[in-house]
Structure 1
Amino acid sequence: MKNFLFASVLICTLLITACKKDDQTTGELFGKWVLTEQYADPGDGSGTYQKVKELKTVTFLPTGETTGEVFEPLTKFKILDSVRLEITTKNINQPLIYYYKVTAKQLVLNPPCIEGCGLKFRRK
Structure 2
Amino acid sequence: MRIGELSRRTGVSTRLLRYYEEQGLLDAERLPNGYRSYGDGAVATVHQIRALLAAGLSTQVIKDVLPCARGEVPTLEPCPNLLATLRRELGAIDARMDALRTTRESLSGFLQAAAREAA
User: TM-score with structure 2 length normalisation?
Assistant: 0.20
Higher CA-based Rg: 2
Which of the pair has the greater relative contact order for Cα pairs under 8 Å at 6+ separation?
1
Which one has the bigger strand percentage?
A: 1
TM-score norm. by structure 1 comes to: 0.20
